[in-house]
Amino acid sequence: MIQAALAVGLVAVSAWAVATFPRSVLVFLLFQGSLLFAYVARIPAWLRAALLGAALLVLMPAIGYFNGYYLEVATQVGIFAALALGLNIVVGLAGLLDLGYVAFYAVGAYSWAIFGSAQANQIFGGNAFPLAPIWFYAFLLVGLLVAAGTGVLLGLPVLRLRGDYLAIVTLGFGEVIRVLANNLDKPINITNGPKGITPIGRPPLPLDIPYSEAFYFLVLVIVGAVILANRRLEDSHVGRAWEAIREDELAAQAMGVPLVRSKLLAFACGASFAGVMGVLFSAKQVFINPESFTFLESIGVLSMVILGGMGSIPGAVIGATVVTVLNLQVLKGLSLWLNELKNAGVTVLGYSLANLPTQLEPAKYERMIFGVILVLMMIFRPQGIFPVRRRSRELAER
């Protein structure tokens, strides 16, 4: 009862605070924290659904009206959450360490970028492209299929590999895709090389609100679909077979799980989510080049999965949120704050911050601070923020 009141109050107060202080990062973090509390608090399921639904469907777009950057953050979180969920199938459920996951993201992104811009004319000649923006929706499916096919393609040669060996091969695969994107501007210009492709068509959205707000809802719908698909897969014979492979490959096979098919399915399912999000990403950015698909991106998504809790759906979502918000807001906010102190000439323990060399800005240490956080997490909470909870099954009385 107290928790319910607290959850409602927190969400309401923090939403009001964001509207009042739209520039304060701390206040926005408070809002995110209140959502987290609403999720973990012991409150009735309907209240939790109502709170989270209201926050995501009403409050967040309203906040975006006051500060557009927050909406951008929320959209990014959504994209990364879906990526983390896809990788979670491969790494978390099936236990296949994939270090080149961003390759599938790239494949999806390029599939729409090429046909949603004038780039395709370079390949086929003529003047038929770009396709009308409405084709974007068809390309969500195309991106899914192409990425799934690429996943199977990667899966086939590496099926016999496990653990470290698999990780190395997938790492190489990720690099191959990036290098291909970088160099396929000759002899036929497919990807336009390092210069990248622009402008990429943005999908027409049926809502009569600012475009970034409408796009936020599109991301929300797609992430919702991804979560639903993930839950259904996990909670079926398919998901159980993946987990069995992770636990004991040989025993799984001896119990009737076809190893090759199950592993390929895991690769294909994981990749297909990345493909869809790639299509979405290229439309959101309007411009893509190979720089967006580096090894560091793969590691970033992997760290979301591990930080959140391997094999756990809420874990993947919270991991994506934490990492994205950390990179986009907390560390940048820290730099800004320090700069303000510096410009104001504040003195700490007799040392004037004005003399602080620029090399000590937190923004320059983003990766380091992120790394330290990862190390601390792995030492003190290796199972992740939301570790997997085994579902209890009700057995009929006899």
Partner 1 sequence: MTPPTGPAESGPMTLFEARGVTKRFGGLTALAAVDFSLESGIASIIGPNGAGKTTLFNIFTGLYPADAGVVTFKGAPLLGRRPDEITALGICRTFQNIRLFANMTAIENVLVGMHARVSLGLWDVLSHRPRFRDAERALQARAGELLARVGLRDSANDVARNLPYGDQRRLELARALASEPSLLLLDEPTAGMTQGEAGALMRLLRDLVAELGLAIVLIEHNMRVVMEVSDRVTVLDHGEKIAEGTPREVQTNARVIEAYLGTRRHERRRAAG
Among 102, 265, 271, 305, binds partner 1 (CB under 8 A): 265
Task: Kindly state the smallest distance separating residue 162's Cβ from partner 1, in Å.
Answer: 16
Among 47, 233, 341, 353, binds partner 1 (CB under 8 A): 233
Chain centroid to Cα 290, Å, comes to: 18
**Hey, is 234 helix, strand or coil?**
helix
Task: Kindly state the smallest distance separating residue 21's Cβ from partner 1, in Å.
Answer: 43
Query: What 8-state DSSP symbol labels residue 329?
Result: I
Question: Toward partner 1, which CB reaches closer, 344 or 396?
Answer: 396
**By CB under 8 A, residue 251 contacts partner 1:** yes
Task: Kindly state the smallest distance separating residue 139's Cβ from partner 1, in Å.
Answer: 20
Q: How far apart are CA 267 and CA 270, in angstroms?
A: 5
**By CB under 8 A, residue 257 contacts partner 1:** yes
Q: How far apart are CA 45 and CA 231, in angstroms?
A: 17
Place of tokens 């599109």: 218
Question: Toward partner 1, which CB reaches closer, 8 or 93?
Answer: 93
Question: Toward partner 1, which CB reaches closer, 181 or 268?
Answer: 268
**By CB under 8 A, residue 392 contacts partner 1:** yes
**By CB under 8 A, residue 259 contacts partner 1:** yes
**By CB under 8 A, residue 253 contacts partner 1:** yes
Dig out the tokens for 93 from the structure. Answer: 């459920």
Among 47, 238, 328, 356, binds partner 1 (CB under 8 A): 238
Task: Single out the segment in contact with partner 1 by CB under 8 A; choices: 27-35, 67-75, 244-252, 323-331.
Answer: 244-252
Question: Toward partner 1, which CB reaches closer, 160 or 390?
Answer: 390
Dig out the tokens for 389 from the structure. Answer: 């909870």
346: left (phi over 0), alpha (psi -120 to 50) or beta: beta
Question: Toward partner 1, which CB reaches closer, 222 or 252?
Answer: 252
Alpha-carbon torsion (280, 286, 287, 291), positive or negative: negative
Task: Single out the segment in contact with partner 1 by CB under 8 A; choices: 62-70, 226-234, 322-330, 358-366.
Answer: 226-234
Among 221, 255, 376, 378, binds partner 1 (CB under 8 A): 255
- Count helices and strands (H / E) in the chain: 17, 2
Count the residues of the shown chain that bind partner 1, applying the rule CB under 8 A: 30
Q: How far apart are CA 325 and CA 29, in angstroms?
A: 9
Task: Single out the segment in contact with partner 1 by CB under 8 A; choices: 17-25, 60-68, 315-323, 387-395.
Answer: 387-395
Q: How far apart are CA 225 and CA 85, in angstroms?
A: 11
CB crowding 227-247: b at 16 or more within 10 Å, else e: bebbeebbeeebbebbbbbbe
Question: Toward partner 1, which CB reaches closer, 164 or 394?
Answer: 394
Question: Toward partner 1, which CB reaches closer, 132 or 250?
Answer: 250
Q: How far apart are CA 55 and CA 30, in angstroms?
A: 13
Q: How far apart are CA 19 and CA 230, in angstroms?
A: 34
Dig out the tokens for 342 from the structure. Answer: 């510096």
196: left (phi over 0), alpha (psi -120 to 50) or beta: left
Distances (CA, A) of 239 to 52, 168, 235: 27, 25, 6
**By CB under 8 A, residue 229 contacts partner 1:** yes
| Strand blocks (E) in 68-168 | none
Q: How far apart are CA 273 and CA 357, in angstroms?
A: 44
Question: Toward partner 1, which CB reaches closer, 251 or 375?
Answer: 251
Task: Single out the segment in contact with partner 1 by CB under 8 A; choices: 69-77, 129-137, 234-242, 318-326.
Answer: 234-242
- The C-alpha angle with vertex 135 and arms to 133 and 140, in degrees rounded to 5, equals 115
Task: Kindly state the smallest distance separating residue 218's Cβ from partner 1, in Å.
Answer: 21
Question: Toward partner 1, which CB reaches closer, 92 or 290?
Answer: 92
By CB under 8 A, what part of segment 284-323 binds partner 1?
none
**By CB under 8 A, residue 393 contacts partner 1:** yes
Beta bridge partners, 348, equal 351
Question: Toward partner 1, which CB reaches closer, 156 or 255?
Answer: 255
Q: Which residues bind partner 1 (CB under 8 A)?
A: 229, 232-233, 236-238, 240-241, 243-244, 247-248, 250-259, 265, 390-393, 395-396, 398
